[in-house]
Structure formats: C-alpha cells, structure tokens
Amino acid sequence: MTTMTDSSVREFKMPDVGEGLTEAEILKWYVEPGDTVTDGQVVCEVETAKAAVELPIPYDGVVRALHFPEGSTVDVGTSIIAVGVGDGAAAAAEPVQEAVADTPATTEAEEPKPEGRQPVLVGYGVSTSSTRRRPRKGAKDPAAAQEVSAAIQAEMNGHGPATPATPATPAAPSAGDRPLAKPPVRKLAKDLGVDLATVVPSGPDGVITREDVHAAVAPAPGEAPGAAPAAVAPAPSPAAPASYDTARETRVPVKGVRRATAAAMVGSAFTAPHVTEFVTVDVTRTMKLVEELKQDKEYTGLRVNPLLLICKALLVAIRRNPEVNASWDEAAQEIVVKHYVNLGIAAATPRGLIVPNIKDAQAQTLPQLAGSLGELVSTAREGRTSPAAMQGGTVTITNVGVFGVDTGTPILNPGESAILAVGAIKLQPWVHKGKVKPRQVTTLALSFDHRLVDGELGSKVLADVAAVLEQPKRLISWA
C-alpha cells in the first residue's frame, strides 16, 4: 500500500498481510535511510498476531526515512517508510533546503484519491485514508511566520501575546481532517484518553505536541488568560508500574503471537463449555509398527514417529463419527458439520504457541500425511508458518508427551469442536493376556465443545482413537 506525498516521495503503508489483521510489530529493518531499494526487495520483517512476514517494497528508489523503530507496533494503513522515486531519488541522498515557493502550497495539484478499499500485498486492506499531507514549510508567508514566532516567544517569556491581532493558536482541525501528530504524541493521547480531533495544535504547520495533549486534560478553571503554557500543570501521567528488583524479576511485554494466543484461549475457555475425557491405552503394537515403517523404503526421508499414527487414528475416528468434525455458528444458531478435516498440530515456537493445520488431511495416504506433518513441523520451528496455514482448522492434536507429562486438559482452538492431547509413552506394568507385563502405555485426553458434542459422541471418538492405537490393524479393517 503506497501513498504519493509529492512528486518524488512515496509513503509505503503497513499492509493488511492477510486474515483481516489490524496491526503488526516491526521486528527488523533490512534497510536504512539513504539505501537504494528495488521493486520486490524485502525492506522489513513484521510479526502479526499469527506469524512473522517479510514485506517487499513495490517500487525502485532511495529510502528517505524509516518512520518507526524496530519493536514498534503499527496499525494497518499507517506509513512506515518513505522512499524517494524518480528525480527525487537523487535528491534523497543529498538533502537541500527548499526555497520559498512562488505559489501557495494549496494551489498544487493533488493526486486523485481512489475510491473504496485499495489492494494490498495480500487481499484488500483498509479504506483509503482521508489524511492530507502537510503543507510545505517554505510555502508559508515569512512575515506571518515571524509574527507568530515573536508572539509565541513573548508568551513563553510570560508577557502574554505580543500582538492581539495575531492569533497565537491555530484553529482546531476540522472533522474531515486527520489530526497531525507524531507517533509518541499519539501514544500519549491514547494513554491519557484524549481524542486528538479535539486538541488545539500549537506546533508548526498545525502539529499537535505533547504539551497540547497535556493541556487538553489539564483543569481549565483558575487558569489566567495570559498564563504561559509552562504554567499549566500537566495531567498526571499513567501510574508507573510498581518498582521491582530486576535481578529477581523479568517483565516481558505481551504482544504478537503470545497476545493473540492469550486472547484466543480466554475467549475459547469462556465461550465454549469444555468437557474433557481421559483414557489410558496400551500402545505397544503401535510402537512396533512405527519401527517397521522406519525401515520401509516408501518412508525413506519422511518423518515417522508415534504422532503420525496418532493423527491417522484420529482421522479414522472422525470418519466413523463425522458429527464431531463441526463448529458452532452463534449468529445463525446452527451446527456446521465439516466434510473435510483440516488437522491442526499445536507447535511451540520461540514466539509462542501456534496451531498450523494440514488441509484436507482425511484425503491423504499415510506416506502423504507423513510428508505433510514433517513440512508443518519444520516450517513452524523455522518461524516461516504463514497466516493462511493457521486458518480453517477443524480439530487439533497437542502432543504434551514430548515434555514428559502424562496428559492435560487442553483448551479448544477457537472455532473448533475437539482437541486431542497425547501424553508421554512410558514403559509400565500392564495386564496383557492375563499376565502383568511391561508394556508401552500412554494417556489420551479429548476436550470437546459440549454445545455440539455430547458425552456419547465424545466418548465414541476417544474410544475409537484408543482402539486403533491398541490394535493398529484397525487402520485397515476400519478404512
């Protein structure tokens, strides 16, 4: 998404990188002011609530400015980088003071504004912004600027306005304009609950300053008409967090994937009535089958492990009990039964928990499923999972056994009906053929949405998964 600010500079805005996300954090800049960029060159990496994405610039030119530092969270549609293009590219590398324009800035031709929503890197983004560019500093009348400057200086010295005929404060922006303010000032206004549209600017070219924001929340009664701005008591800043010993505590900002996961889990836990059932099962035969498949030439180069057969067992259970593969449509008051299975696999990454899914997993053979599972896991570990890969899941598997725990009570991925937790597979005493023998045993836990999955259906699904893992030949007999 780009905007022309003048004939030689383009502003590249934070695009909607998919799935209607409203903001993204700038993780890393790959360019600096003065660097030459080409069409399609990646200029930065951003993290949305779902994944990290690299952003390419859509034109050639020279970087004029980076509007936000690394670590900043930026709303979609906000300009993040200015690039000089065409004749302006050379000028970007050698700043020159502009002369006073012969004609007022208001007479310059403006580029026609497109109607409706503009195409972005992925899909379509927000509606066209109504923000107008700032007038050039050189376009102001020098005499008027000098008078305003003298008035402000006199007022700062405590003598009141120098000339009553010269307005010392610009008029507040009209309702159709977007207030002009730097990002730190916007954040201050947001923290103090101040609507920038109601603030009277005092900065050059109508820019709202920090003092303007503080003045907007300061009590008006008792204020002398000619009092200097410095005499106005600023509004109290937001309460600082309680002090703590940095050697004993570390505070980690909640953002990106972590914040999205937290919001999703809270929403799921307090929206869908969860029920969790457990079963302990002897998986010795499944473990033997895993070892045999590893020696099969058809699986050479593929990831073969117990999780592969657990995925297949759940797919068989869903085929035998298709009503479990559904979602709840609150608006329409309908249960939506899915005739496909997008099998989610919970994956822990440095950025937090993500749940990419294997599309149409029910249609894949065992070798195909092994390939899809391997690609999903490796992509997640490398941080290359796309937002699209995490959308549209129907059921999920979370393998908590890799951490050595027996099982858990998993929370549903929002919009899904069930999630299967797999515990650690351990050698335990087990009654087998009338005798106590050491066997490979694990515990499974199935959480489901009780609005659309009743106890009987949930029990059948969990029992079928356990039956397949106990007797893997059922993968054939139940196919």
| H-state helical runs in 53-119 | 88-93
* Distance in angstroms (rounded) separating the CA atoms of residues 432 and 300: 33
Sequential DSSP letters for 202-213: -SGGGEE-HHHH
Q: Give the angle subtended at the CA of 283 by the CAs of 282 and 288, to the nearest 5°.
A: 135
- Cα 441 from Cα 463, distance rounded (Å): 15
Cite the DSSP H helix spans in 119-192: 142-156, 183-192
Closest to 73 in 3D by CA, of 33, 29, 27:
27
CA distance 472 to 366: 13
**Contacts of residue 46, Cβ cutoff 8 Å, sequence gap at least 6:** 14, 17, 24, 25, 26, 27, 52, 53, 54, 55, 74
C-beta separation of 27 from 45 below 8 A: yes
Question: Comparing C-alpha atoms, which of 207, 198, 209, 203 is closest to residue 168?
Answer: 203
Active site residue 214: no
Euclidean distance between CA atoms 157 and 211, whole angstroms: 16
Cα–Cα distance measured from residue 464 to residue 318, given in angstroms and rounded to the nearest whole number: 9
Q: Which of 159, 214, 274, 450 is catalytic?
A: 450
User: DSSP label at 415?
Assistant: T
Residue 474 CB partners (closer than 8 Å, separation 6+): 316, 467, 468
What is the distance of C-alpha 143 from the center of its chain? Answer: 49
Q: How far is it, in rounded angstroms, from Cα 212 to Cα 209? A: 5
Residues with Cβ within 8 Å of 218's Cβ and at least 6 positions away in sequence, in order, are: 232, 233, 234, 235
Please provide the distance, in angstroms rounded to a whole number, between the alpha carbons at the two ends of the chain.
50
Q: Which residue has the tokens 């309460």?
A: 239
Structure tokens at 57: 């610039």
Give dist(CA 126, CA 118) in Å, integer: 7
Q: Is 354 helix (H, G, I), strand (E, B) or coil?
A: strand
CB 180 within 8 A of CB 201: yes
412-434: burial string, b at 16+ Cβ within 10 Å, e else: bbebbbbbbbbbbbeeeebeeee
Q: Which residues lie below 8 Å from residue 288, measured CB to CB, with a gap of 6+?
A: none
Catalytic residues: 450
